[in-house]
Structure 1
Amino acid sequence: MMSLSFFYGTDRETLQMHCRQLAMKDGRTLLIVPEQFSLSGETSFLDLQRYNTEVTSFRRFAQEIFYQTGNSGEYIPGSAKLILMEQALQKCSSKLTVYKTSTDKKGFSDTMCKTVSELKHADIAPHTLLEKKEELNGHPYLQEKLTDMALIYRYFNELSEKVGRDADDDLTRLTDLLSQQNPSINLSDTTLILYYFNGFTVQERKLLSVLNGLCTNIYIGMVTESCHRTDETKLCFWSTIRNMEAFSSMNPEYSLIQGEKKNAELPFLAEQYFTYPSRKWEDNPKNITVFSAENPYYEAEMIASEIVRLCRQDGKRYRDFTIVARSLSEYEDVLEQAFRLFDIPYFTDQKESVACHPLVTFLMSVRDIFEYKWNYESVFHYVKSIFSPLSKEQGDVLENFALAYGVFGNVWTDDKKWTDKLNRVFMDEDCGFDRTEIENARNLLVYPLTLLWDKVKGGQTYCYQAENLFLFLESIQMYEKLTEKTELFFQNGEQQLSEEYRQLWNILLHVLDQVVNLAGEDKGTFSKFMDLLEEGFSASSVGSVPKSLDSVTITSADRFVGEGVKCLFVIGVNEGEFPASGEQYGLLDGTERDILEAFGLEMANGRQKSAYMEQEIIYKVISLAQEKIIFTYRKADMDQTAKAPSQIIGRLRELFPNLSEITCLPLVSSPGFTFSKMVESPSAYKQALEWFEAHPQWKLRLQMLERDGNRQRVTLSSETINQLYRNELKVSVSRLERFKRCPFSFHATYHLKAKERRQYQLGAPDTGSFLHDILERCACLIDQSASLSWQTITREECGILVDRIVEETVSQWFGGLLISSPRYFYLTARLKRLLSKNLYAISLHFKNGLFRPLGYELEFSDKGDFPPVTLRISDGKTVKLTGKIDRADVYRTPDGSWIRIIDYKSGPKELHLNDVYYGLNLQLITYLDAMCQEDEPAGVFYFNVTDPYTRTETALDGTELIDALRKNYKMKGLVLANNAILRAMDENCDGGSDLIPAYVKKNNEPGGSIATKEEFQLLRKQVKSCLKQLSAEIRQGKADVLPIKTKREYSCTYCPYSSVCGYENNTGQCKSFTDLTKEEIMNRLEDGEND
């Protein structure tokens, strides 16, 4: 007699034993398991083959029947289904209402595919949706949704039927076939056993209803403590029992299978977790533990450390451990890092989608280059890919060039624009790039892509576009690159990555074939063609096998099988994560699903079903461990966002009052982990240090660690110094100032040549260079002009002169940046006005004084206007100091000549005697000293090139406004305390000056920022001493990470090397300087005291 029987219980081991006993009976037995458990099921029941038992799944069972009856056919792969759905959406988009604007959105076709699959599993046809829509009065929006879904569903079915078979229809087709009582199908001597199922879809239930009349017996094993729902039914069994009750019309028999586990704590947990009121376990549980960690990375480290400990102390094997997370994506990376550190083999039980694989993103970057017209992001997404035809070095150089000189858009593809750009850039011999290298890199980038674009532009057929895309991939040797990567990963022991790359070429060809077969004659843009490819890739995945049989299994809670798990880690037990919240429902939300179920359409997940499912998952997880279970949670995310433990942790504490919670790791575990911890706290690892020193493979890392610990104190070898400077040190004064501020920064800048990426924009240094250059050119023209002079030039003439010089030179600056856009045209106009005002302000220095220009951009060097400043340092070596003065003026009298030095600054700058004394500001005094070997010093100044404004409480007329603004052009610096010199600089300086920082007081004494001749001499002597000291330290190889800190500056504030040197702002040593008064400085200098 044919019958349906349920055997149920909560002891999985006993249930499996009963399942085996049923399978050992006479006759043929089909043991049906869920699709995702088919591999593990075959492994668990391998010994039953001798009893004529076959482990299969519903889908494989259906395919076997189709083959027997001649109903087999070719199936539509997932990638093809997405392409078909995309076509269906395009065909019916104009007829849609709710989803009319969604059909072109990325991911919508995938969501719709999943919805259709769900509807088929629920045995809901398009006409069923339309029929049910008529009953839904009072829900107009849901009615419109169902109308749209039915239309899309119907179009998809029509397209699918022309291509092949949808595997989602298999069980419905099998049910229809079995209902016809086909004589070629004989199941009368077959027993069906269904195991591992938590529930069944409508499709599966209908099939089982038909099979119940054809098979000898059907046995269904379910994990539950009861077969009927009551008020006392635990939530974790609610959905399971509900599924059992759905078979009530078949009058099933029920058998309770009871058993006991050896470990009493674990069944107590499973039994009491969902029981209210519950009993408590008063003893300290030895096999249930909770780990709490500061963040996900420490959580992963704790797990790895515990696995190593249990393997050592309890003799466990890696295969005895399974790690379960509700959301595995949150932990994949940190677990991988931790397991590598502890050298633990592992296997992640999930297929990886290729949609985000570097190969796919590379192909999509080709689309983006054409779609976004060669913008920066798309071009260098392509260039930086591991599949790019450019080498990494070529890509880096080309990117630096493009960023520095604004190469984007059709400059890449238009040969004339490209050549014009190069000609402008390479007018500057110091641009830092090699023209041949840049052109070769550009050719590798552009030519394969333009060849492809010439073929596919204009809306060709998808077949033609696929052919040319394949030719493009051949031209850049894509197959060879994938093969090379596959072999490289394999040689490096990365079997999982090697296996992924091995499959990629075939997946790529398969998706291309699907597009050609399904939509080859359709026409569309290349972008649309690539969108179809992307949809195909999103449905494709790469699988892998474990590296070895002895490895830790990592899986998600919903895929978790659990057979043979001795030690289970349940990780990420945080609020909102396990149990999961915010269930994703697809096109129908939870409320709409509940409404449809109330009207007779049973969908997979409504709000209530999702809640029950989470409870089922919790029960499954806590009931599967055989010997030990460890729960872990984190207190914060990596970004320091606080995280609370889940309700699961709270329930554990209620059931086990003496439950231990571990918050720290053992100090010594695997070598890699112990070494990393020893770096953080060397004093706590003295014995471990001895062990590492005794093992050669770790000794080198210790030596590197020791050098890193002393990284603030760095000395270059004498061989390196001799290679850099040989017998003579040549260095500019500005570089010595850089050395004083931080020796490491000096060497990184001038010897390692490390510098920040130049951007195609006008930064502060670029603006300063531009202003200096224009002012110098204007000044030289004034001196050379027969019609212009500093004493007579007007504001209007300054404006005309500046305008002329800027227009003559603007195209040569920064690769034509200042003429590249309307924004920069406007900025250039502003710079012209600024320069005109400042040029006229400079002329006032000559109109109101007796000093005259001596020269502009005066250079101290072997081939410059003056010889370099030569000094002899302590080791007897010679130092040649070079530099450049923006402007030097002279005042000639019968008694001698007086020199003043002016440095133009594009930002605020003042001369502080403290900076001179400590060696932080040496240039002005050095240049003054060099030019005053026979002449007398008059002063040193900074002239701030600025566009000033002023605030007043009353309105000013034109003259008053000019007078108010003039004060903003006053130079900052130090002037000789001599009334004659003061008046030679500003004839109107009695009582105050708008030009210089000094004046003549009413008592006829000089006042302001002044220094006597003797004080200037002391400063000159101090500066020479600093120059010698700094030069000697460079010769000695000093390269310390030693920034300076004063009241006005801190070396690290704008330093580009802070991420390189590793200097810690809070704990690192720095050199601090205390401000002194002028009197204190001069007293120290008179007493011979140097810094």
Structure 2
Amino acid sequence: MQNYLTKNLFAIDVNNSNDKFETNQIKLIEFPKIQDEIRYVANKIKYLVLEKGTVFDDINIAVNGLDDYKHEIQKIFNEYSLPFYLDTSRSLMEHYFSRTLFKIADFICGQKSISNAISIIQSPLFIIDNNKKLDFENYCKKYNVLSDEFYKKFETENTELCKNAEEVRCFVFDQIKELEGHIFACLTVTEIKTVLLNYLSVINAKNIIDTLSQKEVDLIEKQIGFEVYGKFEKVLYEADAIIGENLVSVQGFFDMLKSCMHGTNLTTVPLKCDAIFIGDASQSTYYPRKALFIMGATQNRMPNYSSDSGTITDAEIAILKSNNNVSPTIKELNKREKFKLFNLVVLPSQKLEITYSTLIKGQTEFKSEFISAIQSIVTTNGMAIQVEKSDMMELKIFNNNAPLLVPYLVGTTQNAVKLAKGKFSNLKNILEQQFKKVLENETKKFADDMSRYQITNIREKLFKNNKTKISQIERYFKCPFLQFVDYAIKPKDNPKFEIKSIDVGNILHEVAQMYVNNCIKNGYKFSDNENLIVNDIFDKIIRSEKYFNFSKNAYALKNLKEEAIRFCNAIKNQILSSDFKPVYTEKRFDDYTIGNGLTISGIIDRVDKLSLKNGDGKSSSISNYLRIIDYKTGKDKFTYQDVYYGIKLQLLVYMKAISELDNSIAVATGYMPIKNKFVDVFDEEFETYKIDGITLKNDGMILRLDKNLVYNKKSNIINVEFKKEGGYTSNTEKFILDEREFLNIQKYALLVLNGAVNEIMQSFIQPKPFKEGNSYPCTTCKYKSICHYQIDVNGYRKLDSIHKGDVCKEIE
């Protein structure tokens, strides 16, 4: 095989059938994704070792585009218990020592920002208690520490926070200040080198790196750690030897040093004698072995051609009027890549398998021209060799609840059938010896998984004093485990002094509350200076201690104040346009019974009321009608899907609770969105803040909810629009409900709420997230590090599209 490929691969004329090579030692295989491609290679290696007696050291793997494959290779090969050496050279600049050094360089050259300072103190080079690092970070954000303030003592307050922050500042930045003073007095490379090495000696950089490297579990990382400081010193001394006496600026010195360190690699050698060698097809050095697997053999990767573009193209080189040759040209570089490939494929003596995936990193890939070259000169069973299309079917014995037996057998259905027929005796013996042990382990693991979520005192932990909250039940429907952690374990984040989206929402909630209370106090009479009133309310709120972190951020304050004014103008428009007037803000209700012996409490952002006399006006009885409004930041919108699946129940449960407790009739509920969006057109601004929810289908009530509908076809405060010819538009019909539907959807919300409580009482707290479109709650979940839920293994709950009728019919 080697001799034939050497003579004929990329030869000019191979059309003569007599020149073709008959072999079964070469295979070409296509896969749908790289995980299948890697798993196939792992399976094949397992087979070669167990059945053919091949040693791991006799196997090479060349990967085209190793960076896209290496993480999956490590994961799958470890799963298969395969010993391997991954030849991934690493730039000196990738080590934490280099990154810290240049963060310090940026700092002394003028980039004295909070983020840069925090990056520096987080470096492993500075042995500091993590809590003190966090206090330093919070102090800097709280007081907006900038520039040379890092070189001055922190003494703003007499607190533990300030003392810890000052301790960190003194330990790190007093030395950096001294470095800055000395280094800017230097004129030459030699002088800067001397100052820099002296600073690194003072902070004990080399010993710290060596100590941390000694503690590394990964042998390659340990080896790299021991190599770092020596390589850095070598770069520094070489620069000194070449341009030591040259005049240079501090910034110019560090730019030069960074460039040199980028080009310096940290090299490693294989740490196991008998290991599979895995490298980059274009960059690694390979030696002859029995078997070679070439992966990622696609058009854009194999060979790794360069495009003829850049500062000067080959065509432009050809017309240069110069006696000096410009080399290498793109054509020469591509010839070198092709030659590297030629040298690679003639190395194996017994087996050559070339594989590729049709989808890599979301991009569709096609087979390499090299595969076509192989097909033109190689035959199998008298026919031109074909590309096999493989669909890996992994052998599973415990459905989705257990790992595969791939560390012990060639894990495909096809090979399992061969085992059943008595072939592969060595492998079969291993399977017989291991199967009982694996079965026992899996049974124990399954039992442990089940017991992991069994809690005996669930009511006491999750429903203390027989109380619950709507937010707890909504959290349960997002994921039972998420609800359990939040309401039973109750972990707390370390406080951070920074502007958060929740702070923005809380500030605007408080502004709205105080503004509406002012409207109630003034009998819903408005002056010409409403914006000044909002401005004063905003300033009063922002001066409070809990929003201190906003005080130094003028840009954020300006935008937030503008949003507060727009939001309150929209509230004013709602009050003027409706017969329903605000009567409560932050209305609290307690001990509303929901079943299972539990009660709920809640706070409603705003309750609007309309009182009407009954009968002909002579009767003294009065009926009260309510509209429930919840202020919402973000992208929350009312959907029947959220109600159906229990993800958003608050509006409906609160509406039912307050109407019963207040002895009133609820006719509407919805979210009033808090946007941060400037709109030029006055009417469109109100449209932006339209209440999004459901309304009772009662023409009289709808005209009182928005009096302007008497003259206009479309409301700018509620989701209602009339057709020109009369009647409601189809979109309006989705969100107006007749009396039966309006009552049923409230009953449904309580039914779902009680169902969730029953499930929680039965200790159903296993992770079970949902999928909506391409979105998973797991993606942003802060507890995924303790949950370890695998969506690709354990699945998810799929949320189907739900309409008004789907919810209402559930209660009938």
TM-score by length of 1: 0.56
Aligned to 1:794: 526
Describe the shift of the 1:511–1:267 C-alpha distance in structure 2 as closer, same or farther (beyond 3 A): closer
Which letter maps to 1:506? G
- Taking the aligned partners of 2:582 and 2:370, their CA distance within structure 1 comes to 86
Deviations 1:94-126 (CA, angstroms, capped at 9, x unpaired):
xxxxxxxxxxxxxxxxxxxxxxxxxxxxxxxxx
Q: SS in structure 2 opposite 1:718? A: coil
Aligned to 2:649: 921
Report whether the alignment pairs 1:481 with 2:208.
yes
User: C-alpha displacement at 1:451, in angstroms?
Assistant: 4.8
Describe the shift of the 1:496–1:734 C-alpha distance in structure 2 as closer, same or farther (beyond 3 A): closer
Report whether the alignment pairs 1:772 with 2:509.
yes
Q: SS in structure 2 opposite 1:316? A: coil
Q: SS in structure 1 opposite 2:233? A: helix
Q: SS in structure 2 opposite 1:280? A: helix
Aligned to 2:762: 1036
Whether the aligned pair in 2 keeps the contact of 1:852 and 1:891 (CA below 8 Å) is: no
Aligned to 1:842: 575
Q: SS in structure 2 opposite 1:903? A: strand
Describe the shift of the 1:270–1:856 C-alpha distance in structure 2 as closer, same or farther (beyond 3 A): closer
Q: CA RMSD in A?
A: 6.0
Which residue of the other structure, out of 845, 858, 883, is the alignment partner of 2:603?
Answer: 883
- Taking the aligned partners of 1:629 and 1:967, their CA distance within structure 2 comes to 67
Which residue of the other structure, out of 116, 135, 150, is the alignment partner of 1:413?
Answer: 150
Aligned to 1:532: 256
Which letter maps to 1:856? T
Aligned to 1:721: 458
- Taking the aligned partners of 2:771 and 2:678, their CA distance within structure 1 comes to 32
User: C-alpha displacement at 1:835, in angstroms?
Assistant: 1.5
After alignment, is 332-341 or 826-835 more displaced? Answer: 332-341
- Taking the aligned partners of 2:232 and 2:48, their CA distance within structure 1 comes to 44
Aligned to 1:820: 553
- Taking the aligned partners of 1:575 and 1:966, their CA distance within structure 2 comes to 52
Which letter maps to 1:488? K
- Taking the aligned partners of 2:347 and 2:145, their CA distance within structure 1 comes to 59
Aligned residues: 761
Which letter maps to 1:857? E
Aligned to 1:496: 220
Which residue of the other structure, out of 840, 864, 871, is the alignment partner of 2:593?
Answer: 871
- Taking the aligned partners of 1:317 and 1:661, their CA distance within structure 2 comes to 27
- Taking the aligned partners of 2:213 and 2:517, their CA distance within structure 1 comes to 65
- 1:130-529 alignment runs, 5 A limit: 265-273=1-9, 274=11, 276=13, 278=16, 280=18, 284-294=22-32, 298-323=36-61, 336=74, 339-347=77-85, 352-371=90-109, 373-375=111-113, 378-379=116-117, 382=120, 385-387=123-125, 389=127, 409-410=146-147, 413=150, 446=173, 448-457=175-184, 462-463=189-190, 465-474=192-201, 476-489=203-216, 492=217, 494-515=218-239, 524-529=248-253
% identical aligned pairs:
14
Which letter maps to 2:7? E
User: C-alpha displacement at 1:628, in angstroms?
Assistant: 1.6
User: C-alpha displacement at 1:830, in angstroms?
Assistant: 4.7
Describe the shift of the 1:889–1:327 C-alpha distance in structure 2 as closer, same or farther (beyond 3 A): closer
- 1:849-864 alignment runs, 5 A limit: 853=583, 855-860=584-589
Aligned to 1:126: none
Which structure has the larger Rg? 1
Report whether the alignment pairs 1:730 with 2:467.
yes
Describe the shift of the 1:824–1:883 C-alpha distance in structure 2 as closer, same or farther (beyond 3 A): closer
Q: SS in structure 2 opposite 1:857? A: strand
Aligned to 1:654: 376
Deviations 1:488-518 (CA, angstroms, capped at 9, x unpaired):
34xx4x4433322222222233334445555
Whether the aligned pair in 2 keeps the contact of 1:739 and 1:746 (CA below 8 Å) is: yes
Describe the shift of the 1:553–1:533 C-alpha distance in structure 2 as closer, same or farther (beyond 3 A): same
- Taking the aligned partners of 1:915 and 1:578, their CA distance within structure 2 comes to 49
User: C-alpha displacement at 1:984, in angstroms?
Assistant: 9.8
User: C-alpha displacement at 1:1075, in angstroms?
Assistant: 4.5
TM-score by length of 2: 0.71
User: C-alpha displacement at 1:630, in angstroms?
Assistant: 0.7
Aligned to 2:730: none
- Taking the aligned partners of 1:833 and 1:555, their CA distance within structure 2 comes to 60
Aligned to 1:807: 539
Which has the bigger relative contact order, CA under 8 A and spacing at least 6?
Answer: 2
Q: SS in structure 1 opposite 2:360? A: coil
Q: SS in structure 2 opposite 1:308? A: helix
Whether the aligned pair in 2 keeps the contact of 1:899 and 1:938 (CA below 8 Å) is: yes
User: C-alpha displacement at 1:906, in angstroms?
Assistant: 4.8
Whether the aligned pair in 2 keeps the contact of 1:325 and 1:557 (CA below 8 Å) is: yes
- Taking the aligned partners of 2:259 and 2:485, their CA distance within structure 1 comes to 48
Describe the shift of the 1:720–1:950 C-alpha distance in structure 2 as closer, same or farther (beyond 3 A): same
Q: SS in structure 1 opposite 2:466? A: strand
Whether the aligned pair in 2 keeps the contact of 1:347 and 1:552 (CA below 8 Å) is: yes
Unaligned 5+ segments in structure 2 are: 397-401, 421-427, 614-619, 721-732
Deviations 1:439-497 (CA, angstroms, capped at 9, x unpaired):
777776655544543543465655554455445445554334322343234xx4x4433
User: C-alpha displacement at 1:821, in angstroms?
Assistant: 3.5
Which letter maps to 2:466? L
Q: SS in structure 2 opposite 1:1039? A: coil
Report whether the alignment pairs 1:831 with 2:551.
no
Whether the aligned pair in 1 keeps the contact of 2:29 and 2:354 (CA below 8 Å) is: yes
Whether the aligned pair in 2 keeps the contact of 1:284 and 1:660 (CA below 8 Å) is: no
Whether the aligned pair in 1 keeps the contact of 2:697 and 2:738 (CA below 8 Å) is: yes
Which letter maps to 2:25? N
User: C-alpha displacement at 1:733, in angstroms?
Assistant: 3.0
- Taking the aligned partners of 2:684 and 2:341, their CA distance within structure 1 comes to 82
Whether the aligned pair in 2 keeps the contact of 1:892 and 1:898 (CA below 8 Å) is: yes
Describe the shift of the 1:343–1:970 C-alpha distance in structure 2 as closer, same or farther (beyond 3 A): closer
- Taking the aligned partners of 1:560 and 1:986, their CA distance within structure 2 comes to 73
User: C-alpha displacement at 1:886, in angstroms?
Assistant: 2.9
- Taking the aligned partners of 1:376 and 1:816, their CA distance within structure 2 comes to 14
- Taking the aligned partners of 1:778 and 1:572, their CA distance within structure 2 comes to 64
Whether the aligned pair in 2 keeps the contact of 1:349 and 1:554 (CA below 8 Å) is: yes
Unaligned 5+ segments in structure 1 are: 1-264, 427-432, 861-867, 953-960, 999-1006
Q: SS in structure 1 opposite 2:306? A: coil
- Taking the aligned partners of 2:56 and 2:464, their CA distance within structure 1 comes to 63
- Taking the aligned partners of 2:458 and 2:672, their CA distance within structure 1 comes to 38
Deviations 1:108-160 (CA, angstroms, capped at 9, x unpaired):
xxxxxxxxxxxxxxxxxxxxxxxxxxxxxxxxxxxxxxxxxxxxxxxxxxxxx
User: C-alpha displacement at 1:773, in angstroms?
Assistant: 0.9
Describe the shift of the 1:1090–1:607 C-alpha distance in structure 2 as closer, same or farther (beyond 3 A): closer
Deviations 1:635-682 (CA, angstroms, capped at 9, x unpaired):
43622434444444333322222246555479689x998548999999
Describe the shift of the 1:790–1:450 C-alpha distance in structure 2 as closer, same or farther (beyond 3 A): farther
Deviations 1:298-357 (CA, angstroms, capped at 9, x unpaired):
545444443433333333333333445687777666655554444444456786542433
- Taking the aligned partners of 1:296 and 1:541, their CA distance within structure 2 comes to 28
Aligned to 2:631: 905
Deviations 1:896-938 (CA, angstroms, capped at 9, x unpaired):
6847354243579998999889865355654664575574446
Q: SS in structure 2 opposite 1:869? A: strand
After alignment, is 377-386 or 908-917 more displaced? Answer: 908-917
Whether the aligned pair in 1 keeps the contact of 2:83 and 2:276 (CA below 8 Å) is: yes
User: C-alpha displacement at 1:285, in angstroms?
Assistant: 0.9
Q: SS in structure 2 opposite 1:905? A: strand
Whether the aligned pair in 2 keeps the contact of 1:873 and 1:1029 (CA below 8 Å) is: no
- Taking the aligned partners of 2:4 and 2:609, their CA distance within structure 1 comes to 96
User: C-alpha displacement at 1:771, in angstroms?
Assistant: 3.0
Aligned to 2:425: none
- Taking the aligned partners of 2:334 and 2:258, their CA distance within structure 1 comes to 34
